Structure 1
């Protein structure tokens, strides 16, 4: 299994030399990347506000956001476009942040938010809710069912960790593979036995990941778990640095490896469940974004985690904006854009790293 390149431990770190310049490059690059990502996120949000059947220039978009007047333009922006933008940023930031955590916990650059099976659990809950008709009867029906599915898988994962205190990361990955396979079988049965073809199509559409018709209700449902969860993960950046160096190093650094891993995976699972519940299964955000950011600024999680969250929000917002632009003539889902863009980008990153 491919492992992440880890920063040198204090015991093996080279002695201070006469040239400290390389040590200053990563923070400087991180500062530039953070500033550029925040600026790009603001510009992307304005672009998304102005895009659609009702076209708005930059000035009109800003005025509609900061000074709504109750007219048609303000209604379209505040009722349709802004909720979708906020959900895209929340989901993108959540998936990228969780991707950072998973790649550190499993010491594998190919780990992503779905490696533990939490996304698949959310998919089972959502598909069950759709095929049972909850989407048409309850506004929160499908998101709540998806979050319940992700929570159930998170609890199973925690039970496995509690029962096997010495379980390695390889064991956890195999547990995730088993959960994903089991969830895939359940989803196939639910879709095949849907009593209405429209419900089956709705389930398949949800599984591909999309942000169409998202409202402030969806944004409110995701905001609490995502923001609180990311804040908790931000307080564990030193533990992530220690785990990246290996369990033995983390233990000698004073961390209870089992407890630390349990807390990190539980919080990451809840954040993933909240994100997937309102967006469907969207791939490559939690895989590509942390990997790309790490290549630029290194593996120090105090910088890597927050910058990856901003870049993840930007990535998904741009993907959703592109999906909206393409949907004028054909139906293109946000998840499909992420896969089409993310797959070749990730392949290019892997090849460039291998050549380096």
Structure 2
């Protein structure tokens, strides 16, 4: 094994260990503080089926564990999807929602909330997931019908879908019959992990893991695409089909996350770009490192959202935007300077 590969493997192991530490600390933090050793003991009892279901075990198992698990899953999904999208579109400002997947989920979710059909706990995430997948199907159909290999048509399709679906969402919210329904819809659109349950984890885990696996399976193709479409095609890669395959996998992971948390911005934008700045562009490392770093980032952001201004609780999407927006500004200014 080459020295560079060894260093990257060690880095991934360190990131994995950091995620475990952050995971345990986040489970223990709250109005009722639980030490790390107490948290680990409760988890051990939950895994072995010896949990008493009350006290610390009930707090960890029923309230905090689902929320932190969702943060890990959704963070990893957004990180991997962002890494893939930035390479597909050859744009460091690309992020998972650029294809319109998040807007597709949002439209169905808002419709369910405003019409009162979201009262069933499983209805909202499942409806949002299918809304996202309808957009994926539409993008695939448009992409497969295109003769070219350029990313521009797919990027324009995503921008157009986002604009159109955003307008419909605004119209639905403005015409909501009850103010509480409009407020709930706006709350969902900003992204939050409050009230997540193990049922949400079960809904999200399969599409997220399948999407991440799909992107990981195509890291060689991503490395070729990173060299440019023309170079990748010269190397024998079917660029159009490779792009659509990777977009579908990234969109699946995004859909699984957005369906249960709402739209959480900037995670998929900031983290993959930071990974590239620190460790280069080899997607054999960029993809798993983005998954781990984004999971850590979202767990920390969610913990800050519920603890930083206690008893006032911020939405998770608010915290990620407060961190991500300045980073986006930094990227834009950095790119402007490099093009002078």
Q: Which residue of 2 aligns with 1:223?
A: 205
User: In 2, distance between residues paired with 1:322 and 1:28?
Assistant: 34
Structure 2 counterparts to residues 92-111 of structure 1, below 5 A = 92-111=75-94
The reply on whether 1:302 has 2:280 as its aligned counterpart is no
Q: 1:57 corresponds to which residue?
A: 35
Task: Map 1:240-279; keep pairs closer than 5 Å.
Answer: 240-279=222-261
- 2-side partners of 1:184 and 1:230: how far apart? 27
Cα offset, 1:39, TM superposition:
2.0
Q: Does the 8 Å CA contact 2:101/2:255 hold for their aligned counterparts?
A: yes
Indicate if the aligned counterparts of 1:289 and 1:312 stay in contact, CA closer than 8 A: yes
Distance 2:90 2:169 in 1: 30
Q: Which residue of 2 aligns with 1:88?
A: 71
The more displaced of 331-340 and 39-48 is 39-48
CA-CA distance at 1:25 after TM superposition? 7.0
1:47-77 C-alpha deviation (Å, 9 max, x unpaired): 1111112211122111111123333210110
Distance of 1:34 and 1:167 partners within structure 2: 33
Choose which of 67, 77, 90 in structure 1 pairs with 2:60.
Answer: 77
Equivalent residues in 2 for 1:313-352, closer than 5 Å: 313-326=295-308, 328-348=310-330
Tell whether the 8 Å contact from 1:97 to 1:230 is kept in structure 2 after alignment. yes
- CA RMSD, Structure 1 to Structure 2 (Å): 1.9
Are 2:264 and 2:320, in contact at CA under 8 Å, matched by a contact in 1?
A: yes
Q: How does 1:5-20 map to 2 (within 5 A)?
A: none
With 55-64 and 90-99 compared, the bigger mean Cα shift is at 55-64
Match of 2:48 in 1: none
TM-score, normalised on structure 2? 0.93
When structure 1 is superposed on structure 2, of 31-40 and 90-99 the one drifting more is 31-40
Distance in 2, Cα, partners of 1:106 & 1:26: 27
Helix, strand or coil at the partner of 1:115: helix
The residue number in structure 2 matching 1:31 is 9
- Residue by residue, what CA displacement relative to the aligned partner does 1:240-282 show, whole Å, maximum 9, x if unpaired? 0111112221122221111111111112111111110011100
Give the drift of 1:329: 2.3
Shift of residue 352, structure 1, vs aligned partner? 6.3
- Are the counterparts in 2 of residues 29 and 297 from structure 1 also a CA contact under 8 Å? no
**Could you say what secondary structure the match of 1:34 adopts?**
helix
Paired position in structure 2 for 1:135: 118
* CA displacement at 1:125 relative to structure 2: 1.1
Structure ranking higher in helix proportion: 2
Out of 207-216 and 59-68, give the one that drifted further: 59-68
Q: Distance in 1 between matches of 2:202 and 2:305?
A: 23
> Following TM superposition, by how much is the alpha carbon of 1:215 offset from its aligned partner in structure 2, in angstroms?
0.4
Distance 2:3 2:326 in 1: 28
Whole-Å Cα distance in 2 between the matches of residues 183 and 175 of structure 1?
A: 12
Distance across 2 between alignment mates of 1:270 and 1:257:
20
Contact 1:292 1:349 in 2 (8 A): no
Q: How many residues align?
A: 333
Counterparts of 1:51 and 1:184, CA distance in 2? 36
Contact 2:271 2:294 in 1 (8 A): yes
* 2:30 aligned with 1:48: no
Aligned-pair CA distance for 1:79: 0.7
Deviation at residue 331 of structure 1 after TM alignment: 3.0
Q: CA deviation at 1:353?
A: 7.6
TM-score where L is the length of structure 1: 0.89
Taking a change above 3 Å as real, the CA distance of residues 28 and 294 of structure 1, as seen in their structure-2 partners, is farther
State the alpha-carbon separation in 2 of the partners of residues 290 and 312 from structure 1.
Answer: 8
* CA distance in 1 between partners of 2:327 and 2:85 (Å): 20
Question: After superposition, where does 1:104-253 map in structure 2 within 5 Å?
Answer: 104-136=87-119, 138-166=120-148, 168-253=150-235
